[in-house]
Amino acid sequence: MPSKLEALNRWVDDVARLTQPDQIHWCDGSDAEAAALRAQMLADGTLIELNQTTHPGCTLHRSHPSDVARVEHLTLVCTKNQADAGPNNHWMEPTQAHAKIDALFAGCMKGRTLYVIPYCMGPIDSPLSRCGVEITDSPYVVANMRIMTRMGSAALARIEREGNFVKGLHSTGELDPQRRFIMHFPEELTIKSYGSGYGGNALLGKKCHALRIASWQARTEGWLAEHMLIVGIENPQGQTHYIAAAFPSACGKTNLAMLIPPEGYRQAGWKVWTIGDDICWMRPGADGRLYAINPEAGFFGVAPGTDHGTNPNALASIQRDTIYTNVAVTADLQPWWEGLKEGAPVTDWQGRPYDPANGPAAHPNSRFTVSARQAPSWSPKAEDAQGVPISAIVFGGRRPSLVPLVFEARDWAHGVLVGAAMGSETTAAATGAVGVMRRDSMAMKPFCGYNYGDYFAHWLSFDKAGAKLPKIFHVNWFRKGADGKFLWPGFGENLRVLEWIIERCEGRAGAQETAIGLLPRAQDLHTQGLALREGALDELLAIDLPRWAAEVEDIGRYLDSFGEHTPARLHAEQRRVAAELASAQTPQKRAAVAS
């Protein structure tokens, strides 16, 4: 092979000596290769063929019951200095980490095939894209990486031209939770993952590369690697605004990325275009605006809750050529999960006869892997090498109380504070307790590859002369009333909030100034035809000043937890909001707000 691939060839040889596979296969990404792998996995039971009449090309994979989600406590960032990883990451010294995980890799591929997967994160010809190579012993990983990345010969050719790539080494090992680690070495642009075959633990192009390693690359190179969807909103005049939005896992990113406008909006000519549902890389353009690409080529979406009523575009996307993981099946081998109104499960996600006493039929974090191009809302702009210009950045999370439906940050620094302060109830996407409120800055807590304090400083660094930065907003679809029911209908109706956001970006919508930011008044949101109970909109936009004062005080303690790495400008912004809240609680100020 040409000389620029010498480093890659040496690395493959070194890994082969360590892991001792029976054979080595360099993946070219071809249809013939994919068909052969599929046949092999169907023959050995790695994949189960689903109903080919109703779901042509679809298969089911069942992972080990102990291997069904990200394992944050076993996910390490290994930098020379612990402070560079920060308290937001689990850390291990690199030399010790390599020794520990390499001992697990020793001889682990005996009797297996070592697959070399060259891949590109982002359009193959985009200057914003970055390449990697994953070595794995899992054909299931190969099949998923083919869908989720630009994988094969074209990626290898780009690696040969550029001469650099992120190295990812993976083995399913024994699938023993006691022998499982996902280690990141950002200073070496290297990932090592052992003992898991699940999603983000095994598809190293996804969270490991596109967020943890890429966030480190982005800080070095002057861009942003974010846990964000990218959606285009086209108004009846034919103008499209692109929005990047960050939500913790299983908080509706895919639903928002594939949103279907309410009937009245559809008739008026509104359209929604999907660029990406999970990861966003943004870089300043020559005009000072931020331009974004989706580094992924597919969706690795959460299946439960996906139905005609919640996300018809996602449901339409996964009717063919989809890999399902840990869903249930019906009597005629159709995939099934909780929230799907059609069909009934007879076999659960572990392959047992379905018994409600065993829990849900589909695992709460069961998934589908599908090409993004299969979404009816997919935009060809997703392949634009220069990316799409971002008009607004939106943060959000599950907050049953306190946080209003939507508010706008006063400026970039305030927006960074809003993102840093994000909180959400935990979901089934990660191991551990569900329903616990935790801070999840920019929805990056499990994914930021370095110290959060330095990350906040990197965000602030974009605010400089000549920059035309997006406005920043915060949304909360999950606020509940006293009866415990959601106050906002969500799903397609969220377009009403996005419409206000777009109109704010255009300078056309009204807002009221408050201590926490700019909020729409009831008349600023278009609610015609929306069935809200009486008083719900007032509750959705209400601000409890004493509780907000306590919230901002807690945010201050959170920022303190990153020590001297937290930028002084962010501390100053937190103090400014705290002072505004204190002032707003004086009798004279309250009276002025009430009037």
User: In tens digits, what is the pLDDT along the chain, a chain of 595 residues?
Assistant: 446 799 999 999 999 999 999 999 999 999 999 999 999 999 999 999 999 999 999 999 999 999 998 888 899 999 999 999 999 999 999 999 999 999 999 999 999 999 999 999 999 999 999 999 999 999 999 999 999 999 999 999 999 999 999 999 999 999 999 999 999 999 999 999 999 999 999 999 999 999 999 999 999 999 999 999 999 999 999 999 999 999 987 688 889 999 999 999 999 999 999 999 999 999 999 999 999 999 999 999 999 999 998 899 999 999 999 999 999 999 999 999 999 999 999 999 999 999 999 999 999 999 999 999 999 999 999 999 999 999 999 999 999 999 999 999 999 999 999 999 998 876 655 666 666 788 999 999 999 999 999 999 999 999 999 999 999 999 999 999 999 999 999 999 999 999 999 999 999 999 999 999 999 999 999 999 998 999 999 999 999 999 999 999 999 999 999 999 999 999 999 999 999 999 998 864 544 444 3
**Which residue type does 347 have?**
T
- The structural domains of the chain, with segments of one domain joined by +, span 3-47+67-221, 226-296+379-544, 299-374
Q: List, for residues 389-441, the tens digit of each pLDDT value.
A: 999 999 999 999 999 999 999 999 999 999 999 988 766 556 666 667 889 99
Predicted local confidence at residue 589, as pLDDT? 53
Predicted local confidence at residue 586, as pLDDT? 80
Predicted local confidence at residue 69, as pLDDT? 86
Predicted local confidence at residue 461, as pLDDT? 98
Cα R_g (the chain), whole angstroms: 24
Q: For the domain 299-374, what is the CATH code? A: 2.170.8.10
What single-letter DSSP state applies at residue 469?
P
The answer to whether 302 and 254 have CB atoms below 8 angstroms apart is yes
CA distance 245 to 395: 6
239 by DSSP, 3-state: which? coil
Kindly give the residue spans of alpha helices, DSSP state H, lying in 184-268: 199-202, 214-221, 253-257, 263-268
What's the CATH fold of domain 3-47+67-221?
Phosphoenolpyruvate Carboxykinase; domain 1 (3.40.449)
Predicted local confidence at residue 437, as pLDDT? 80
277 by DSSP, 3-state: which? coil
Predicted local confidence at residue 593, as pLDDT? 43
Predicted local confidence at residue 431, as pLDDT? 60
How many other C-beta atoms lie within 10 A of the C-beta of residue 346?
15
How many other C-beta atoms lie within 10 A of the C-beta of residue 543?
18
CA distance 452 to 87: 8
Measured CA angle at 191 (ends 187, 192), to 5 deg: 130
The answer to whether 328 and 349 have CB atoms below 8 angstroms apart is yes
The answer to whether 232 and 273 have CB atoms below 8 angstroms apart is yes
Residue 173 exposure: Cα atoms within 13 Å on the Cβ side: 26
The answer to whether 572 and 416 have CB atoms below 8 angstroms apart is no
Determine if residue 152 is left, alpha or beta; phi over 0 gives left, psi from -120 to 50 gives alpha, anything else beta: left
Predicted local confidence at residue 322, as pLDDT? 98
What is the second-level CATH architecture of the domain 226-296+379-544? Alpha-Beta Complex (3.90)
Cα–Cα distance list, 413 to 202, 553, 576 (Å): 36, 18, 11
**Max CA separation in the chain (angstroms):** 79
In the block, tokens 């996602």 appear at 314
Predicted local confidence at residue 592, as pLDDT? 42
CA distance 144 to 333: 21
CA distance 513 to 505: 16
CA distance 320 to 318: 5
User: What residues contact residue 36 under an 8 Å CB cut-off, 6+ apart?
Assistant: none
The answer to whether 365 and 68 have CB atoms below 8 angstroms apart is yes
CA distance 488 to 475: 11
CA distance 29 to 300: 19
Backbone phi, then psi, for 272, in 5-degree steps? -125, 130
Read off the tokens for 353: 């006869």
Residue 21 exposure: Cα atoms within 13 Å on the Cβ side: 20
Mind telling me the catalytic residues? 251
CA distance 73 to 477: 29
